[in-house]
Every structure is written in structure tokens, then in C-alpha cells.
Structure 1
């Protein structure tokens, strides 16, 4: 089993632990067969440098390569002289995978300076997916499990399982176990998905956005307090809501300029199964209200980024001001 353009050292970092682990698994499965793992794979948690060097310098057993995966280390581990010597001349028989559990790297350290421009070292930053990217990722993840999902089905799963990919993967596994093998290559009906997927989430950011666009601000206030208490960040809520309101504002301008409804839906890339909701939301606001809402969101975003005012109070003030339009 071979990977094209295989590196000797991989360095993964970023916020998305699920996708990082999937990428690491791809490397491992491409390099080693199942029967080779016992003697040729080591996962080192907070190792000493001597432990790492000893294992990284070992020869593979009945395999072309061995893999050493290193986790939970600090910058001092990377910047020790013997580590710097290793990355200058790594073992050709060992693939080292560093999993740095931080969102950023310190590029001015000796390790990163020494690693630059070396074609056998690969740095891979894997960020969290944007909500707009999740439906396609869900479809791709389902395809890996030999299932075909429509756009509407992927959107449904995202809405009712949340935007945590680990939760989504778990629900897709449940879905796969409930689908006959003969039906997996066909597009799975939404009705079947609804009967299998566990609707275990209470409320999420999408529920809040819906209530605001429906102008049900009492419900929006309640949902905000729930999801804020569960750790949702107001700045992320503002970002998603701003995108939706800007789209409605643009559509309302187009509507008042005489553009036909079908053209408006097309130029704004409204998915077929979201048409009715988009049209209803568009009717909930007039042009002045949409323009003012955009301004309120921009003001809230600025406050969140430049003041020490409590984030929850900033968002609650936004909801209050919206209720006064």
C-alpha cells in the first residue's frame, strides 16, 4: 500500500479534531496493512525526547515503513537540539505524525524555521467547517459509508443533529445500520432518514436564526439563553445571522426593482427545498427593516470585537432593538 508523494513527517494542527483524526487514519491505512500494525505503529502520548527518538529510529518489522504518532507535547519538546537534528535527517523507514492540539503554530520557533522548505515535511492545518460547508461534507461522509443523500437530507441531518461532526458521524452510522444494503446505492428518502435519525438536540444556532427571521423574538430570546448557556458564541451567531439578513436585504431590493421571484431565488442560490421558507422570511420584513437589521448586526459585531461589554447582553440588546423596529 503506497501513498503518492509520501512525506516522512506530518504535522497536524487546528480546531477540527474529527477531521484531523480522519486524515491521520488515511495515512495509517495507506501505509500499513492491518496485520502490520501491531509491530509497526506506536502512539506516543507526552513522550520524552529519548523515547521518541528510540522508537522513531527503530526498523519496521515485515513492512517497508513504521509509523510513530505523537500527541500531547509542548513547544519545548519540539525545539530540543536532538529533535532539530532529527528533522534535518529523519529516518527513511519511519513516518512521524505530530498531532499538535492547538489552533495555531508558533512559526518563529527553531522547529518551524528548520522545517520550512523541506519537501519531506508537511504541515496540515484543519479548521472547523463553516456551516455552509457542512451539508456537502455530510453527503461526502455518507458516501464513504456507501449511502447516497440528497441536499435536503443532508440539510435535515445538519439541522437536527447540530454542527458537531462527531455527532453527525454517529447519526450517519445509525442511519447506515437501519438501511438495507440493497437500498444504500439509491438516494435515501427523507422520510426514512426522519424515522432513523435521533432528534436528540434541544435547540441550536439554526433554531435561533429561524425564530429571528420569523420575527418570533420571544422564542428567539429563550433559545439564545439556552444555547449561550451551552457554550455557543454570540459572535458566531451574529456572523450566521448577518449572512442570512444580507441575503434577504439583497432580495428585497431586487424585488422592489421589479425582478421576478424565480429570478430572485435563482440569483440568490436558494435551494429548492428552502424556497418556501425564504419567501416567507422575505415577506416578514420591509426594506427599511432589513436595512436597519443589517446596521444593528454590524453594530453588535463591532461591540463584540472591540468592547468588554458582556457578549450575552450585547446579543440580548440586539434582539430588543429588533423588536422595536
Structure 2
């Protein structure tokens, strides 16, 4: 069996590749020892042919993934052998995955391309635009348990366009921030327009993990970039509120209800539950109260915000 994944949208083609691998592991390769990956210019044709001719180990077939053959391989003799392989029946699964737009100037590559295009399991991933892009973004957000209003959706697409690698990161950021609530234009303006970088999320993770040295470095880096101190504090408060809620539910033996009650993405819950174990319930209550007091001080006094936040981290 031959499978062909190609097109300019490398994000969706990579996700499709992961989906096929996961399906193969679940249905055929229970031992997780029958997936082989060969990379473009580094492919050894003898090892590839041996892999194709070898039966699966504790499985009826193997999955052989050949990456970036069109963009990286320049050896005509090697390409001829690939073409011969495609003209033969094969019990194993051969996946050809190309991360870039295919520019066919080589005659042998053209023959390989035309052959693969005719295969039953061929997917071309073109750049998403218009209504297809909107539908993809909405579905991605809904899969994380949130929703987005139309104006927010329009603004998000204007700011990010069709770059799904960046779009995925922005969606994760928005959904994590909104905790399952509706995403509004103001949220997009706050998180996307200002390009809040990933170090803010690394910062709250460092705090949750009691990594004071890293947390001090990251918060001072953020203050130097003139990011809003109120936004930084809001994200820290939010993180410890989550830890406090998880610790409370754990003490009540209601761990099974975390996702339902907190409306958080499973990945967020998994990370937060590990962090919550590093604190007692009383410690988290005290920290949360300290943060609320810092919030009041920042809004009602002239105390230096850098000093307040550094002292808070040092006293964790």
C-alpha cells in the first residue's frame, strides 16, 4: 500500500501523518517496533529495500515513511529504484510525506509524482483561505472546549492569516486563557495583536513548579520588554487559582470531575495537577491571597512593581 501526503500546508499534512501513525500503532503495531522513517537526502536505498522486503516484527506489516523525497533527493539512480518500488505490489505501508510545495523539474520525479497522485490514499493539503480557513479555526477552538465570536474570528484570521503553525499556537493560547469561555475580540487584541510570547506561559509554569531561579529570570525578561505588569500578574493569579481549585478537588476525592468543573483542556489539567502536588492546600491559599494583595498595591500605590513581583517569587 502506498500513501502520499503533500502540499504547501505542512501543518495539516504533518497532523495527518501523526494520525496515520497512531492508527497503525493501535490496530497493527502493538509492539511499537514496526515504523521506520527515512529522510530525503539521507536515505540508504539498500536499507530501504531491505525494510520493504522484511516482514513485520510481531505484526503483519510494517509502516515505512519516506520524508521529503522530492525536495531533498537529487540522485537519479536512487529515484529510478523508488519508481521501480512503486511499480511492484507491496504488503507493507509506504508513506511518502512532503513538507513543501513540490516543484517537479526532474523527469523521474515527475513520473513518481504522477504515479503517487493516482494512488487511492493520496491527500493534497493546499493553503486554507476564506470560509475553509474560518471553519478550520472554529472547529479547532471547539475541540478545545471553547467558542469564538464572529468579530474575534475575523480579527484572528486577519492577524495570523493562513499560517496554521502560528494559528495553532494562538488558538492554544486563547483557549488556555479563556478556560472554556467564549473568546471575544478583546481577548484576541490582548493576546494576539500584542504578540504575547510563549515565555509568559513558561513563567507561570516555572512558578507552578517552584523553579524560582527560572521564574525570576523570565519575569524580569518580561518586564524589560514593557509587557503590561497587570497582564503578567493576571496570568500568575490565574495559574495559582487553577492549582488551588485542583488541590481542593483532590482533597475532596473529586479528581474525576476536574475537566467538567474546571472546563480546562486535558493538557492544562495534567500539567497543573503535577504542579499542585508541590504545594499544600494552605500554601496555595496563602499564595493566592498574597497575589490579590499585590494586585491591590499595584493599583493603589506607587510601589515599584518589579520589587513586588521579585519579592513574591523569592518568598515562594
Task: Report the TM-score when normalising by structure 1.
Answer: 0.48
Task: Report the TM-score when normalising by structure 2.
Answer: 0.49
